[in-house]
Amino acid sequence: MNYIKWAESKIINFKWYDIGLIKLSVFFFALLIAKLCPEVLGFHWGLYLVAGLVLALPVYWKMLTA
């Protein structure tokens, strides 16, 4: 069993708040990266917007076509 199938079998047991906790941990990890590497904050805001939209597209695509 590869890692992806293993992870998908485990995520079934997650509750809604577990997903929220994962998102919060990613948010605080991003804050840590910004604190330790301030050059990252110097990028144009549009780059962050485009990256966020591109990364969200597969999730929205699956949600709307399912």
pLDDT at 63: 83
- Which tens digit of pLDDT belongs to each residue from 29-42? 999 998 999 888 88
- Name the pTM for this structure: 0.65
Instruction: Write down the domain spans for the chain.
Output: 3-65
Confidence band of 62 (pLDDT split at 50, 70, 90): confident
pLDDT one-digit tens code per residue, 11-59: 888 888 888 899 999 999 999 998 999 888 889 999 999 999 999 998 8
Residue 66 has pLDDT above 80, yes or no: no
DSSP notation for the chain: --HHHHHHHHHTT--HHHHHHHHHHHHHHHHHHHHH-GGGGGS-HHHHHHHHHHHHHHHHHHHHH-
